[in-house]
Amino acid sequence: MDPQRLTGCGTALVTPFTSSGAVDERSLRSFVDWQIASGVHFIVPCGSTGEAATLTRDEHLRIVAIAVEQAAGRVPVVAGAASNDTRKAIDLSRDVQNAGATHLLHASPMYNKPPQRGIVAHFRAIADAVQIPIVVYNVPGRTCSNIEAATTLELAEHPNIAAVKEASANLAQISEIIRHRPARFSVLSGDDPLTMQVMADGGDGVISVTSNVAPRLVSTLTEKCAAGDFSAAREIHHQLAELTAAAFVESNPIPAKAALAMMGKMLNVLRLPLVPLADRHEGAVRAALASIGAVTA
């Protein structure tokens, strides 16, 4: 197995903040250790779940460095480095690479809405400029543009583009990528509710929000799928259903941060324009945590 090939459960890490709004380095270190001890197969700092849009450049690089230090080679560190300015994306990618990340996660450029050939040019320029593998992130709900299957497959031919995180929720599109990809190229679900379906179709795992709260369960789900034990995987999928739904009652990572605060893992502090979970959703989040035994009802 190629050690750079991403499989299983990767957690899209939330970023803990102190009550004053600074990065909570102690909680971050403890959180990374808990995630790895709970069986996750790789970690993903500084993505949208990590509130990367509101991090300073110094904070961004410090979070990656802490994740790398705490992981200590136990799991890959797939660091977010996205920008809708290709030059800025390259610059940040080089700094993140120097901070020790093993892979880079790059969302398709948002707001600019480039055509498919512009998306190809963007990712190829980044891939040519760095030495570590890139994960293409297709998330139309945030970028307002879809990376078509043909475009992903074209990018997959680049030797430094190693995977796609597919969050289009378009199972036909994802299936087309799986059928025609190079053998070395990983297809990862970017939607927690679809992990089992994507893996049943031949996908390789998930970059998960839910695993922030339930790392052991989501990791085991991917392991059962990889082993072809879909009966056991289905049981876990159903066990996680209430939590997975609760994780998206408001914009990610608002519910995840609230859940982790209920579990005592970190403070429920977000950066504007994100705000804490609305009171009307707190009962549903707590009930979802109780359903997997993470808190008492």
Q: Which residues are annotated as catalytic?
A: 137, 165
End-to-end CA distance of the chain: 43
- Collect all residues with Cβ–Cβ distance below 8 Å to 88 and sequence separation of at least 6: none
Phi/psi at 46 (5° precision): 65, 35
Q: Are 140 and 112 in contact (CB under 8 A)?
A: no
Torsion on CA atoms 103, 104, 108, 109, rounded to nearest 10:
-170
Among residues 283, 185, 196, 177, the alpha carbon closest in space to that of 241 is found at 196
Q: Rounded CA gap, 86 and 18, in Å?
A: 32
Strand ranges, E, within the chain: 8-12, 42-44, 78-80, 103-107, 134-138, 161-166, 186-189, 205-208
How many other C-beta atoms lie within 10 A of the C-beta of residue 190?
25
